[in-house]
Structure 1
Amino acid sequence: MAASIREKQTAALKRMLNLNLEPSRSSAVEPVWKVLVYDRFGQDIISPILSVPELRDMGVTLHLLLHSDRDPIPDVPAVYFVMPSEENVQRICQDLRNQLYESYYLNFISAVSRQRLEDMASAALQAGTVPQISKVFDQYLNFITLEDDMFTLRHSQNREAISYYAINRGDVQDSEMEASMDAIVDSLFSVFVTLGTVPIIRSPRGNAAEMVAEKLDKKLRENIRDSRNSLFTSDSLQAGQFSFQRPLLVILDRNLDLATPLHHTWTYQALAHDVLDLQLNRVMVEEPGGEKSPQGARPKKKAKSYDLNFTDKFWQSHKGSPFPEVAEAVQRELEEYRSQEDEVKRLKSVMGLEGEDEGAISMLSDNTAKLTSAVSSLPELLEKKRLIDMHTNIASALLDHIKVRKLDVYFEMEEKMMSKQSLDKSLMDMFSDPEAGSPEDKMRLFIIYFICSAQTMSDAEIDQYAVALQAANCDLAPLHYIKRWKAFTKMTAAPSQYGGGGTKTISMFSRLMNTGSKFVMEGVKNLVVKKHNLPVTRVADALIDNKSYQDTEDYRYFDPKMLRVTDSSIPRNRNPVQEAIVFIVGSGNYIEYQNLVDYVKGKSGGSIKRITYGCSELSNATLFLKQLAKLGTELH
């Protein structure tokens, strides 16, 4: 199977840091020491996939923000990795005038315009630094990879311009909409340049997804036709990068499904995103601090950040698991570690390493071999301990939120709503219970109920719920928008839309119920999620397997390699799809990502080998609800 998007982007970044040469396989070759200068967006791209030690191995001694105060380092080359914006180019010109570095390798995240190249050329001429500009490259790396099979377009920089709010504002100007669509297309173009392949594109009609599909088709088509500058010819791509198996790109609009982004979730990664605000594979957890608090006061808490990345085997194995399974696995790892640690201690004491005479040690050759093995695995053991401590702290923080906010009850109720099952507890009981979560939790629950209810709710019914929500201190602004949205889309969430889901409760793992467990799970339900496809996965499944599915029958088909595509030229018997990219215009989330991962796992005998999930921005429910509230406020 072709390399993943993370592997491709990592290889491109390493090539760039190696001064745009292929990195040497030989460890004997000393890297060229250099300074890395990036803007915030460059930092967001690099930080989830290259750690500080990896940067050091590539010869990066310092990494600095472009707009920070930087001292001259005249005997070191500088690698720049920035967006080609006006202010960035002006700052580079200033660096050239100040002669900060020995030489300059200028790498632009997306293509730099001719005008800005000329600005830099004239600044270099005036400063007499033309010979110091070693290379200028368009890198086409205008996206952020978070997993082997997941990417987003923006994190901190210019995120608002391509958010769900920006695209769905009532007073959005045509020029603003064009700019938002162009920004998304520019990034998607970068994704396919990095993958080295031209996709076949499918999209629904009449929404932002269609606009993105049309513009991307045009941009790819123009680049393929430009034989001198095409980025998709086998010559211009590195050997082995070009694939004859073309991926299917499914571009969808967030408005397809507004329930899932607000859903209370139950799997590890999605919970960390929802509850602890996981960002760029890093999570902040509050821990009791070391400082002494005044008597009677609560202990002070300090925030600690943890990186959750692809080298962490526990994370890779369990990020998609239900929370009780994660707690069970952490407990198991902890017990295993303790037994290994006890063995090291025992051997040390048997061998008299606590200060016994040397004669006793010489007699224990068998134990010496054992100890050598134990000591050689010590770094591994310490790393294991670090990971166990980290996951214990993260899981404990999640468990606190689950208990305080009754997140297991919310999750179970929403799963039942989305799969049209009857509820054990009434919504009014949840809204009036001051112990049941925050006002935001209650609002999320009601919006999901409103979207997924098969019968249209009367205004009187909605008003009755609204009074109860207001009494629970809920902001009703998101509901104003959702009412307008549902009336506009006439989407009553027919049984085909959601469904097949739900949960079942099984007894808690005995390991977690014993008194020595790190996790006191009393009162928390051990819920098992029934496998089901969310709306995004259903659409992807229909398009991948060429199924007749009512919702995808009129989807548009684009093939940038064909001269002209008409409805009659769409091949009816298409080749089986091995790789697909599902891209959401608007807010994406880890719930849909995990659902697609589970879908691919369940198709082990089928043709599909990988689905990569992408979105213009990644939002947890808190952030998405804020966007809905802004839209709702603007309606009044």
Structure 2
Amino acid sequence: MNVIAAIKAYVVKMTSDSEPGMKVLLMDKETTSVVSMVYGQSEIQQKEVFLLERIDSPNYANSSGLRYLKCLVFLRPTQQNIELLCTELRNPKYGAYYIYFSNIVAKADIKILAENDEQEVVKEVQELYMDYLAVNPHLFSMGIPMCLSSTASEITWNHSALQRTIQGLISVLLSLKKSPIIRYQSNSKLARDLGNRIDETMNKESSLFAFGPSGQSLLLILDRRDDPITPLLNQWTYQAMVHELLTINNNRVNLSGIPGISKDLPEVVLSAEQDAFYAKNIFMNYGEIGQNIKQLMDQFQAKAKSHQKIESIADMKNFVDSYPQFKKLSGNVTKHVTVVGELSSMVNKHHLLDVSEVEQEISSQNDHSAHLASIKKLLHNDKIRHTDAAKLVMLYALRYQNQSNNELSSLIDLLYKRGVSDKLIKYIIYLLEYAGSHARQSNLFNVENAVKITKRFFKGLSGVDNVYTQHKPLLHDTLEDLIKGRLKDNLYPVVGNHSSGLRSQDVIVFIIGGATYEESLAVHTFNKNYPNFNILLGATNIHNSTSFLEEVENAFRGVDMLIRRHTRHIRNVKFDTK
């Protein structure tokens, strides 16, 4: 199961099924993201696609088009896109249209398109199931940053997010040709609702899911609220670290806000499909990246030196032949040195090594007095960012929520004295309601049964010689139980009249409320260590701590009643629930 390979195969089919000749690729905002995650623009152009257009762009509506060209249309089957496509077909800009929808399209919509195709320019209509973002071969996202809302009594699905998630998951299953048994986290109504809706859709579209015997597969639906710790932690592997400190958005990193950044590098692309260095280092830790950056620099310098002496026609020919690769290597070196340099600067400037060490201790050990002392020490350090100070208090609040002598109130007092914003302090209370002990199924802090830390050194980068603990997300324990046949039926029941007795080798895990790159690393490691199993991770979104807290806040927007149960923890603190 490889989602990048699945998307690529569909793109190849889409660009090669039509007659030979130059083509235009007409997409919408979301399908543009789907394609750009796995193909660069130059790669698409090599498939006879010389122009990319957006059907939802005002500029496109006013363009004239070229009637001698063929148009490949790749759209999500939304009502808006059907209407835009009808407008296009009534006044076609191109000579022939090959229409591909990213998901199941209603027969009524096909009929409407046919009625508007008065000039009979449509040559083909197909469904190609690529209605999701393929991030890594084993990781996909729906790209939904806010999927939850609240009523007066509970957290619920945002209706449009639920619909989009159902469509996206159905697309994943169809693209991988899987008709799985569905299990879900039993204490999560969100997971149960999604599981039931996926099952209903599979039954309704049973002809599409008739793949024949191909081994039993499993879709396991989890709720982010069962592990609120993982998204709050600082990260130390390349992909996860970049996302936490700089933010990755559809493989792109915006560097324009960095002081002194080159005007040639306002944005960089980090794609393992198009960048060999990134592919090799995506799961490497901070120190290893430093060593490998040095090797990349040495490689570049050696190539540059070999081109310094151009004394003959043969030398000139050799240089010209290797120039594209040389230029690509030069750009790669500049990109990664810039990104790693900024990461290093932020780590040192904000004392993130010190912060991370305390984060890891809180997440993996039970020592109230020591943790309290460590947090207070860092809260008095003005080099620590307000965000990191608040996150330390969040971790403390989650771990010691039910401890009678917890000092959450005094820690919030210290945050106020530091000048931490009301918004960050409200996040603490929202988080307790979102994923406090009342909302969790698993014993997240059961230290006796889960040895979640191993000490290790980061080596090879100047200034990084501290000892760290390596946090393992709750997903690690869940997958271990699943692989060893220990996943309890009462905690993860099956949707419909199926048995959970068969151990599935193809497993798709989907996390409502977002996954993290640390969990992606856990899945990558499991796939490597258990070659008989094939595990795929998906989520509504890929979070860093900022986006996670924004989603938590959004879930309670306009609902004050739910958070009042926690105000007893913050007596004498100026907390406004409005």
Q: Does 1:119 align with 2:112?
A: yes
Q: Does 1:428 align with 2:352?
A: no
Q: Does 1:583 align with 2:510?
A: yes
Alpha-carbon displacement from aligned partner over 1:506-525 (angstroms, at most 9, x marks no partner): 4753xx4xxxxxxxx44x44
Q: Does 1:556 align with 2:493?
A: yes
1:74/1:100 contact within 8 Å kept: yes
Tell me which amino acid in the other structure corresponds to 1:434: D
Tell me which amino acid in the other structure corresponds to 2:353: D
CA distance in 2, matches of 1:558, 1:274: 35
Tell me which amino acid in the other structure corresponds to 1:9: I
2:181/2:494 contact within 8 Å kept: yes
> What are the equivalent positions in structure 2 for 1:385-404 lying under 5 Å apart?
385-404=330-349
- With normalisation by structure 2, the TM-score equals 0.86
2:444/2:474 contact within 8 Å kept: no
Alpha-carbon displacement from aligned partner over 1:224-259 (angstroms, at most 9, x marks no partner): 3xxxxx12345xxxxxxx771333221111111111
CA distance in 1, matches of 2:519, 2:266: 29
Q: Does 1:275 align with 2:245?
A: yes
User: Offset at 1:211?
Assistant: 1.6
CA distance in 2, matches of 1:14, 1:232: 23
Q: Does 1:218 align with 2:145?
A: no
CA distance in 2, matches of 1:458, 1:339: 63
1:10 to 8, 20, 23: 8
Alpha-carbon displacement from aligned partner over 1:471-516 (angstroms, at most 9, x marks no partner): 231422111222334152267633259953446464753xx4xxxx
CA distance in 2, matches of 1:498, 1:259: 17
Q: Does 1:482 align with 2:431?
A: yes
The ranges of structure 1 where at least 4 consecutive aligned residues each deviate by more than 6 angstroms after the TM superposition are: 171-174, 370-375
> What are the equivalent positions in structure 2 for 1:77-476 lying under 5 Å apart?
77-124=70-117, 128-129=118-119, 131-154=120-143, 159=144, 163-166=146-149, 170=152, 177=158, 179-207=160-188, 208-224=190-206, 230-233=207-210, 244-286=214-256, 303-345=266-308, 348=309, 352-353=311-312, 377=322, 379-420=324-365, 426-437=374-385, 439-453=386-400, 456-458=402-404, 461-472=407-418, 473-474=420-421, 475-476=424-425
1:535 to 454, 466, 474: 474
Structure 1 unaligned segments of length 5 or more: list them. Answer: 22-30, 225-229, 235-241, 292-299, 359-367, 513-520
CA distance in 2, matches of 1:139, 1:578: 26
User: Offset at 1:460?
Assistant: 6.6
CA distance in 2, matches of 1:526, 1:534: 22
SS of corresponding position for 2:221: strand
Tell me which amino acid in the other structure corresponds to 1:120: L
Classify 1:343/1:132 alpha carbon distance in 2 versus 1 (closer, same or farther; 3 Å): closer
User: Offset at 1:46?
Assistant: 0.7
* Identical positions, percent: 20
SS of corresponding position for 1:445: helix
Q: Does 1:599 align with 2:542?
A: no
Alpha-carbon displacement from aligned partner over 1:512-569 (angstroms, at most 9, x marks no partner): 4xxxxxxxx44x4455554x642112112211220266xx65311247xxxx33xxx4
CA distance in 2, matches of 1:498, 1:408: 27
CA distance in 1, matches of 2:282, 2:198: 33
1:248/1:580 contact within 8 Å kept: yes
Classify 1:418/1:200 alpha carbon distance in 2 versus 1 (closer, same or farther; 3 Å): same
SS of corresponding position for 2:407: helix
Q: RMSD of the TM alignment (CA)? A: 3.1
User: Offset at 1:310?
Assistant: 2.0
Specify the alignment match of 1:296 in structure 2.
none
Classify 1:302/1:147 alpha carbon distance in 2 versus 1 (closer, same or farther; 3 Å): closer
> What are the equivalent positions in structure 2 for 1:34-53 lying under 5 Å apart?
34-53=23-42
SS of corresponding position for 2:125: strand
SS of corresponding position for 1:105: strand
User: Offset at 1:378?
Assistant: 5.1
> Which moves more between the two structures, 413-422 or 186-195?
413-422
1:285/1:393 contact within 8 Å kept: no
Tell me which amino acid in the other structure corresponds to 2:409: D
Specify the alignment match of 1:60 in structure 2.
49
CA distance in 1, matches of 2:74, 2:282: 31
SS of corresponding position for 2:428: helix
1:497/1:535 contact within 8 Å kept: no
Classify 1:332/1:544 alpha carbon distance in 2 versus 1 (closer, same or farther; 3 Å): same
Tell me which amino acid in the other structure corresponds to 1:119: I
Classify 1:331/1:526 alpha carbon distance in 2 versus 1 (closer, same or farther; 3 Å): farther
CA distance in 2, matches of 1:443, 1:335: 41
1:150/1:614 contact within 8 Å kept: yes
Tell me which amino acid in the other structure corresponds to 2:71: A
CA distance in 1, matches of 2:84, 2:477: 48
SS of corresponding position for 2:255: strand
1:505/1:525 contact within 8 Å kept: no
Classify 1:169/1:60 alpha carbon distance in 2 versus 1 (closer, same or farther; 3 Å): farther
Structure 2 unaligned segments of length 5 or more: list them. Answer: 561-576
Tell me which amino acid in the other structure corresponds to 1:590: Y
> Which moves more between the two structures, 371-380 or 267-276?
371-380
SS of corresponding position for 1:74: coil
SS of corresponding position for 1:587: coil
User: Offset at 1:151?
Assistant: 0.5
1:477/1:628 contact within 8 Å kept: no
Classify 1:533/1:461 alpha carbon distance in 2 versus 1 (closer, same or farther; 3 Å): closer
CA distance in 2, matches of 1:526, 1:325: 14
Tell me which amino acid in the other structure corresponds to 1:35: V
Classify 1:554/1:413 alpha carbon distance in 2 versus 1 (closer, same or farther; 3 Å): same
Alpha-carbon displacement from aligned partner over 1:335-368 (angstroms, at most 9, x marks no partner): 23323433443xx37xx45xxxx9xxxxxxxxx8
Of structures 1 and 2, the larger Rg is shown by 1
CA distance in 2, matches of 1:612, 1:290: 37
CA distance in 2, matches of 1:290, 1:582: 39
Tell me which amino acid in the other structure corresponds to 1:624: F
